Amino acid sequence: MILRRLYLYLVSIAALAVLAFGLSALGQTLLVFALNSPDAQSNRTSLAGYSAAVVVAVAVGIYHFRVLRSDAAARPARIAPAPVLILPAEPTGLTPALEGDTGRHFELSVLGATEDDVHQALANLPPQASYKLRVK
């Protein structure tokens, strides 16, 4: 899939480069043609060649750009991590972290996070609260 995208981007960029060159050369040829250059036949040939290059570059560019857009639309969305539900647990006989603590105890299971993420998430607990982190 990545090779396909790489190919599509490269062809689209090449089509843009050919289009830029073709339009530039076409403009220059039209300017020379408008000035009634003595070599009119050569100018007509150049005009036809540059016009053909521009038309082909536009067609190739539009086709490949549309394929890129349809591929992007068909690509599945990135999966967000599942939300973590925090429920109060039944008392498990854990000893309170502070003496005389009569608060409720909770058991929390966190998946898909690092230890630093958990510490950062629990940093906003009230000052009297404490927690013990066990990594399984």
Question: Last residue of a domain, which of 74, 96, 123?
Answer: 74
Whole-model pTM above 0.75?
no
Q: Are residues 127 and 90 in the same domain?
A: yes
Residue 86 shares a structural domain with residue 126: yes
Q: What is the pLDDT of residue 95?
A: 47
For residue 25, give the nearest of 59, 52, 58, 56 by alpha carbon: 52
Please list, in sequence order, all residues whose beta carbon lies within 8 angstroms of the beta carbon of residue 4, skipping any fewer than 6 positions away.
Answer: 71
From 29, 50, 74, give the residue that closes a domain.
74
Report how many domains make up the chain: 2
Residue 99 belongs to what domain range?
80-136
- What is the pLDDT, as a whole number, of residue 38? 67
One domain for residues 57 and 97: no
pLDDT in tens, 36-73: 766 666 777 788 888 999 999 999 999 999 999 999 88
Task: Indicate if 100 and 57 belong to the same structural domain.
Answer: no
Residue 18 pLDDT exceeds 80: yes
pLDDT tens digits, 108-122: 777 777 777 877 787
